[in-house]
Amino acid sequence: MNRTRIVRWLRVLLPLAALAMLSTLFLFSRGGDSESQIPYADVDAEAMARDPRLVAPEYAGVTDDGAALTLRATEAAPGRGTGSARDLRLDWQRPDGLRADLAAPRGGLAEGRISLEGGVRITTSTGWTLDAASVEAATDRSRIAAEDGIKAKAPFGTLSAQRMELVPGGDTDASILNFSGGVRLIYQP
């Protein structure tokens, strides 16, 4: 009989003790900070409203002749006719397997072309490294061109020229890297 009485009391007291513990958790919990800020919102809202920007935009597409383009930037701002972007990377790959990676500090995308400016570095899958002041890449066909001088390191030496154009070959699927305007080649066997 003694044991039954203890069990009856515990059936009443244990849920009451649990309820008391839960209520003390809610009563003595920290109050909410009404002045708190979102921890990841380190932006000036007024500046963002004045100058709207996109953070980490990405553009991807395929040209009519099958070249895959992926353009990434750290930040982009809309503009009249053209937008501007910072820290651009363009990954360009032809169906023949040729790949070119372009990096530039600034540029934009407008009217069927990607403009890269401020010192562009081009690295190809065939071992070429090219440096130019500015480069334009078409979004409707396989074409990358530099008009304001270019310096290149090739597997066989170095060269410089006024203009460079990377286009698909005529009858073959192979791409052609064409230099013109005061071409100077230093061959290193």
- Euclidean distance between CA atoms 106 and 149, whole angstroms: 18
Tokens 């309820």 locate to 19
- Euclidean distance between CA atoms 64 and 84, whole angstroms: 25
Token representation of residue 34:
């009404």
Per-residue pLDDT, averaged over 14-38, amounts to 77
Query: At residue 160, does pLDDT exceed 90?
Result: yes
pLDDT-derived band at 31 (thresholds 50, 70, 90) equals low
**Pick the residue with more confidence: 129 or 75?**
129
**Low-confidence winner among 43-57, 108-122, 143-157 (lowest mean pLDDT):** 43-57
- Euclidean distance between CA atoms 146 and 132, whole angstroms: 7
Domain ranges in the chain?
A: 52-187
- Which residues of the chain form beta strands (DSSP E)? 54-55, 58-62, 68-72, 75-77, 84-93, 99-110, 113-124, 129-138, 144-146, 150-154, 157-161, 163-168, 175-180, 184-187
Tell me: the pLDDT tens digits for 80-120? Answer: 556 688 899 999 998 888 899 999 999 988 788 889 999 99
Alpha helix ranges (H) inside the chain: 2-27, 45-50
Domain 52-187, CATH: 2.60.450.10
**Low-confidence winner among 58-67, 72-81, 129-138, 144-153 (lowest mean pLDDT):** 72-81
- Euclidean distance between CA atoms 182 and 185, whole angstroms: 10
In the chain, what percentage of residues exceed pLDDT 70?
85
pLDDT of residue 85: 85
For the chain, the farthest-separated pair of C-alpha atoms sits apart, in whole angstroms, at 111
